[in-house]
Copies of this chain bind each other. A is one copy, B any other.
Amino acid sequence: MALFKKVGIVGIGLIGGSLGLAIKKYKIAQEVIGIVRRKKTIKEALRRKIVDIASRDLRLLKDVDLVILATPVSKIKEIAPSVSKVIKNDCILTDVGSTKKEIVLKLEKLFHNYIGSHPLAGSQNAGLTFADAKIFKDSLCILTPTKKTLPEVIKKITVFWNKMGAKVELLSPSLHDKILSYTSHLPHLVAFALMELIPSKYLNYSATGLRDTTRIALSLPELWRDIFISNRKEVLISLKDFGNKLYTLEKIISKKDVKSLYLFLKKAQRKRIKLL
């Protein structure tokens, strides 16, 4: 038996579209409704059988059992009140936003059966074109319950992600935002800053090192602007921390302190090996 009868996805981009494909592939729901703004996306979503019904009309969510808000971070907060007016009482709700504190605070006021999700999946390639059921396989999805979250909602949403091949871990919204500011938001800021800095005429003299280090600077500026602003408190802390590290390196190098420099690099390399 399917986990849900009817699932609604609001926003059919890379993540929303991949969710539609994965829900069908793993038979997680009998029917998938896609709420999409653009006509072109409606057509494409239907053509690729990502959803069974695609429409701009939120009222189609009236009898779904699960709604996933998969729009960019700033749009999640905007659209949530309208969604809360049309769904039925026992409908479960989650979102896939990359920041959680601000979103969870707002959404748990609007929805009784809500839990925040953050699937660490996807890539710099935005949009439905790159939607793929497999992106969640062997990935990590962080759920961010609070004191208000109902245990059965945690359980059901955990099973939901597990069925798509994702491992689930629970973090509070605050801790999520703190950790991700280091492991995701800061690396994105750094990649964007590197590209912004390097003179265009120098770019011919680069190799795979620069390409890999700045791959995520290909990500959509609109999405990341919203993420940096939404999580600005933590982002500013990690940015300041990182600035201090660079200042440490600056001092070490200008003093030609080869021993400290070696130890710094070695410590970094050891930690990076853990990520292999």
Q: In the complex the two chains form, is A182's CB within 8 Å of B197's CB?
A: yes
Report how far A246 CA is from B186 CA in the complex, Å: 10
Query: Which of B193, B258, B274 sits near A245, CB closer than 8 Å?
Result: B193
Which B residues are in CB contact (< 8 Å) with A121? 207
Which B residues are in CB contact (< 8 Å) with A202? 179, 182-183
Q: Which of A183, A236, A272 has the most CB of B within 10 A?
A: A272
Contact A182 to B207, CB < 8 A, known contacts A240-B250, A262-B222, A269-B192: no
Cβ of A86 under 8 Å from chain B: no
Q: In the complex the two chains form, is A208's CB within 8 Å of B239's CB?
A: no
Cβ of A217 under 8 Å from chain B: yes
Cβ of A229 under 8 Å from chain B: yes
Report how far A194 CA is from B122 CA in the complex, Å: 21
Q: In the complex the two chains form, is B243's CB within 8 Å of A247's CB?
A: yes
Q: In the complex the two chains form, is B199's CB within 8 Å of A182's CB?
A: yes
Q: In the complex the two chains form, is B254's CB within 8 Å of A236's CB?
A: yes
Q: Which of A200, A213, A215 has the most CB of B within 10 A?
A: A213
Contact A262 to B120, CB < 8 A, known contacts A212-B213, A212-B216: no
Which B residues are in CB contact (< 8 Å) with A130? none
Q: In the complex the two chains form, is A225's CB within 8 Å of B169's CB?
A: no
Q: In the complex the two chains form, is B219's CB within 8 Å of A236's CB?
A: no
Report how far A184 CA is from B179 CA in the complex, Å: 28
Report how far A122 CA is from B209 CA in the complex, Å: 9
Cβ of A264 under 8 Å from chain B: yes
Q: In the complex the two chains form, is B212's CB within 8 Å of A272's CB?
A: no
Q: In the complex the two chains form, is A241's CB within 8 Å of B180's CB?
A: no
Cβ of A109 under 8 Å from chain B: no
Q: In the complex the two chains form, is B195's CB within 8 Å of A120's CB?
A: no
Specify the chain B residue showing the minimal Cβ separation from A195: B268
Specify the chain B residue showing the minimal Cβ separation from A217: B272
Report how far A245 CA is from B195 CA in the complex, Å: 10
Q: Which of A206-236 contact B (CB under 8 A)?
A: 206-222, 224-225, 228-229, 232, 235-236
Contact mask for chain A residues 264-276; partner B; CB cutoff 8 A; 1 contact, 0 none: 1111110111111
Q: In the complex the two chains form, is A209's CB within 8 Å of B188's CB?
A: yes
Q: Which residues of A contact B (CB under 8 A)?
A: 120-123, 139-140, 142, 169, 171, 179-180, 182-184, 186-200, 202-222, 224-225, 228-229, 232, 235-236, 239-243, 245-247, 249-250, 253-254, 256, 258, 261-262, 264-269, 271-276
**5 sampled A-B residue pairs with Cβ under 8 A:** A122-B207, A169-B204, A184-B209, A186-B198, A229-B256
